Amino acid sequence: MDTHPLTAPPAADVAARATPGYLAARVAQLEAQIAQERAENARRLREVEPKLQEFRTTMQALHQKLKRGTEERDEAETRIEAHLDAIASLHGELAVAREEVAASQRRIQELEAVAAPREADAGTLAEQAARIAELETKLALSRDRVAQMRDALVAERRNAKSEPLTVEADPDDAPPPAAAAPAPRTVDEGFPEVPGLTSEGLAERSAMGTRFRARRAEDRRAVWVIVLADPLREADLRRIDAMMQSRHPNLATTLAVAGSDCGPYLVLERTLGDTLHEWIARDGLPPERTALSMALQIARGLRHAAFHGTLHGGLSPRSVRVAPDGHVQVEDAGLADLRPAPDEPLRDARFASPERLRTGVAPDARSDIYSFGAVLHFLLTGKAPFEGDAVAVERAQKERGTPDPRALRACVSREASGFVTTLMAIDADMRPGTWDQVLVDLERIVNVETDGTPDSLRGRVARFVALHPLVACAVAAAPLVAAAVWLHFAASALPPVR
């Protein structure tokens, strides 16, 4: 029977507990309890450790997700700010466009108000329009004669100089032999009888047919009218449709295609200005940066044509027009594929790619890229990369390889020369494959600034020597003259020898 805690245990129990055996048993009992509790704690610890490790892993994963979420939020905020800036810019452009539209509408209303009282006198307006058309035709003929006289005067002045500018002679500029000269055609001989088109000059023969200078009556726009020698095929119509879609500021646009009593004809935009060959013959070679900027306009136009599936096929300085304000346009894009005879000689083989000169090889965009490099070679040096007909050019391409513009003109920079040699690689696989790559490389060269490296310093010195030889000789001789003067005074200051 248990005793109450406040009640003192019997003396017999106290004596029993005081014995060594009781104490040892009690100690053993307590040690057993402690060992049992330790084992239980160790078991519980083993159970908790995996859960703790899993908790740590989960916390690390949550921390990483939180970090990624923060980065994504920052990127999203950056994109949102960029979009907001773009939207603000578009709002500004839209406001400007609306103001321009409003101004145009006001101008149209003013013109309609001015033109309204004159509608009653339609007969007089028709007579005035006919008179204006007649005067414009005479003016165009006068301009052609003035241009011919100017070219003849430039040629005479160039021949009279002691060191004339060496520009390639265009084979088509030379007059035909007297025995082979055809009878002159009248202005309207062979011109299609089409309402709205007025002829302006003598006919010109081309590989595709007969070409006329003309104007459209509706907007007085200068155009070329090409009466084709052969009927158009289905593939030709698809090409012409692609050409009509290729509208770009640096491309002469194909405006229409139709048929007449003279046969099918094309209406093409006629660019005002001289051909690249005529422009260089009159004004001389441009600075390198100007030449590269003009080449950039040519490349943009050809890239746009290639985007619509149109290859030029016959790019040369004669197919590039330079307006008086420096604007450049490429003519005849895609017309080479409309030639009636595939074996007909190229208009100018000096600028044709090796694969274009070989028969049975279908050219691609890389062929136009080669011709573009040849035109840039002409812009930088004033000379075609090769001379002669197709056979001579093909043989020179095999024997001499890719020409280097610096061999003809030392002031051409290494960057521009290397770019030209890359474009004119004889192996088509070594050229840039797309016009996008050409534009990226050309824009980098146009926008590059001289950084003072040894190579660019040598280029500047070479260009200075080529442009100012007398000044360069004087600068080179100045140290020698200074040394001679110093030796003279030094010798005068020495005591005489006795």
Instruction: Look at residue 398 and give its three-state secondary structure.
Output: helix
CA–CA distance, 368 with 374 (Å, rounded to integer): 10
Query: 332: closest CA among 460, 246, 440, 405?
Result: 246
What pLDDT shows up at residue 103? 80
Angle at 491 between CA 488 and CA 497, to 5 degrees: 150
Q: Give every CB contact of residue 456 below 8 A, 6+ residues apart in sequence.
A: 413, 450
- Determine the 3-state secondary structure of 81 from DSSP: helix
Distance CA 488, CA 204 (A): 73
HSE (CB half, 13 Å, CA atoms) of 353? 29
pLDDT at position 442: 93
Please report the pLDDT score of residue 293 as a whole number. 93
Closest CA to 256 of 224, 218, 302, 303: 224
User: Do residues 212 and 224 lie in contact, with contact meaning Cβ atoms separated by under 8 Å?
Assistant: yes
Each residue's pLDDT expressed in tens, for the chain with a length of 498 residues:
445 555 556 666 666 666 778 888 888 899 999 999 999 999 988 888 898 888 888 898 898 988 888 888 888 888 888 888 888 888 788 888 788 877 877 777 777 665 555 454 445 555 655 566 566 555 555 555 555 555 555 555 455 443 333 444 444 444 333 333 333 333 456 677 777 777 776 667 766 677 888 888 777 788 888 887 767 777 777 777 777 777 788 888 777 777 766 667 778 888 778 889 899 988 889 999 999 999 999 999 999 888 888 888 888 998 899 988 889 998 878 777 665 444 445 567 899 888 888 765 667 889 999 999 999 999 999 999 998 888 899 899 888 888 899 999 988 999 999 999 999 999 988 999 899 999 999 999 988 633 433 344 555 565 555 555 666 677 777 788 777 777 777 666 655 555
pTM (2 d.p.): 0.53
Angle formed at CA 271 by CA 266 and CA 274, multiple of 5 degrees: 130
**Local structure of residue 312 (DSSP, 8 states):** -
CB 300: neighbour CB atoms within 10 A? 21
> CB count, 10 Å around CB of 320?
29
List Cα–Cα distances, 255 to 179, 196, 227, 270, in angstroms. Answer: 38, 13, 14, 10
How far lies 467's CA from each of 169, 275, 287, in Å?
24, 26, 11
- Chain center to CA of 222: 27
Backbone torsions φ then ψ of 195, nearest 5 degrees: -65, 140
SS3 247: coil
pLDDT of residue 376: 95
What pLDDT does 342 receive?
Answer: 47
How far apart are the C-alpha atoms of 249 and 404, rounded to whole Å?
A: 31
Nearest of 309, 341, 135 to residue 220 by alpha carbon: 135
DSSP class of residue 297 equals H
Measured distance between the N- and C-terminal CA atoms of the chain, rounded to whole angstroms? 151
Instruction: Report how far residue 130's alpha carbon sits from residue 358's, in angstroms, rounded to the nearest whole number.
Output: 51
